[in-house]
Amino acid sequence: MAHLLEVQQVSKQFGAFVALNDVSIAVPKGSIYGLLGPNGAGKTTLLRIINQITLPDTGSVLLDGAALQPHHIQDIGYLPEERGLYKSMKVGEQALYLAQLKGLSKKEAKERLRYWFEKFEVSHWWDKKIHELSKGMAQKVQFIVTVLHRPKLLIFDEPFSGFDPINANIIKDEILQLREEGATVIFSTHRMESVEELCDHIALMDRSNKMLEGEVTAIKKEHKTNRYEVGLVAENHDAVYRTISSRFECEPADFKTIDTQLKIKISLDTGTPNDLIGFLSQHAQITRFHEIIPSVNEIFIKTITAHE
């Protein structure tokens, strides 16, 4: 698969502090790429390097196969974590200014802004000042400005922090729509569960290093432990548990049910799930059976602890 963005062995140091240590990532064209990691992992520094706000000490960044050039800022739409707008400037004027800074002509910018303002039903905001708008309203304006110049690469740093659920959904849908139209999207966040379902590729970062990268499905396959969560109904729960635990590695599970059930997590070392189901059905009624797929969060914690 062709890569839109390639970061190659980038390192960055601030004084004695190492912000990025030999980090490489490759973002496939048309993907939704999650850059995940706790606060202070170096995500924002990496994004700033991609946006040419900061220069790397060593390493290089390729966009569409070419080394980053000043003109590439037109190809990137970046919504930083620290985002705001001029408080005392009118919305329309401000959006025009920011669009022109991205290289759009005034006429073009106006036309596209009109389209987006109508789409979000905010045309009447044009002559308002930012401090007259609510936070959610201002965020819509920021989003419009980020995507207005139709960049190939969209970068959102902590995209949904501060959005109310309704706006977050609107924005999410717009982002997916833009991906359909050919844009590549990078989400950077420390709240991994918030983007897990959206991303098809992820990279995990921790303390200036990239720990893991790849397709989400592949990573999950790699990290799955063949464990199954089952719910059983039998006459004697203790007896059934003893029987099962004599053959399989078991531990109690916890999930909500409407009646009393035996809840177990079972590790399957050999054999197929069908074998397990067959075995269980001899002893009890099966009310629940599903494979435990690790969440990205769990994979992350596992990866980190494995390194320590």
Partner 1 sequence: MSKLPLIIKREFLSRVRNRTFIVMTFLSPLIVVVMITLIAWLATLNEDAVKKIAIVDETGMFVQDFEDTEGVAYADYTAMTLPVAKEAVVAEELYALLYIPKTASTTELTTAVRLFAEESPSYGVLRQLEDRMNERLTAQNYQAIGLDATQIKAAQQEIAIRIEDFAGEQTSKMANYIKMGFGALAGYLLMMFIVIYGNMVMRSVIEEKTNRIIEIIISSVKPMQLMLGKIVGTSFAGILQFLIWVLLGTVLLIVGTLVFGTTPEPTVIDPAMAMSEATPNIKNEIIAFIAEVNKLPLGTLVTAFFIYFVGGYFLYSSIYAAIGAAVDNETDSQQFMLPILFPLILGVYIGFFVVIENPHGTVATLFSMLPLTSPIVMLMRIPFGVPIWQVVVSILILIGSIIFMVWLASKIYRIGILMYGKKPTYKELFKWLKY
- Of 86 and 279, nearer to partner 1 (C-beta) is 86
Q: At closest approach, how far in Å is the CB of 162 from partner 1?
A: 11
x-or-dash pattern for partner 1, window 100-129, by CB under 8 A? Answer: xxxx--------------------------
Q: Choose the binding region for partner 1 from 21-29, 47-55, 208-216, 299-307 (rule: CB under 8 A).
A: 47-55
Q: At closest approach, how far in Å is the CB of 126 from partner 1?
A: 17
- Of 84 and 271, nearer to partner 1 (C-beta) is 84
The answer to whether the CB of 162 falls within 8 A of the CB of 139 is yes
x-or-dash pattern for partner 1, window 6-45, by CB under 8 A? Answer: --------xx------------------------------
The answer to whether the CB of 74 falls within 8 A of the CB of 104 is no
- Of 105 and 169, nearer to partner 1 (C-beta) is 105
User: 78: alpha, beta or left, given left = phi > 0 and alpha = psi -120 to 50?
Assistant: beta
CA-based nearest residue to 186, from 1, 7, 54: 7
x-or-dash pattern for partner 1, window 57-96, by CB under 8 A? Answer: -------------x--x--x-xxx-xxxxxxxx-------
98 touches partner 1 (CB under 8 A): yes
- Of 20 and 280, nearer to partner 1 (C-beta) is 20
Q: Choose the binding region for partner 1 from 46-54, 180-188, 262-270, 275-283 (rule: CB under 8 A).
A: 46-54
Residues forming a β-bridge with 262: 232
Binders in 138-157 for partner 1, by CB under 8 A = 142, 145
Q: At closest approach, how far in Å is the CB of 206 from partner 1?
A: 22
CA-based nearest residue to 123, from 144, 147, 151: 144
Cα 287 from Cα 114, distance rounded (Å): 55
Binding residues for partner 1 (CB under 8 A): 14-15, 48, 51-54, 70, 73, 76, 78-80, 82-89, 97-98, 100-103, 142, 145
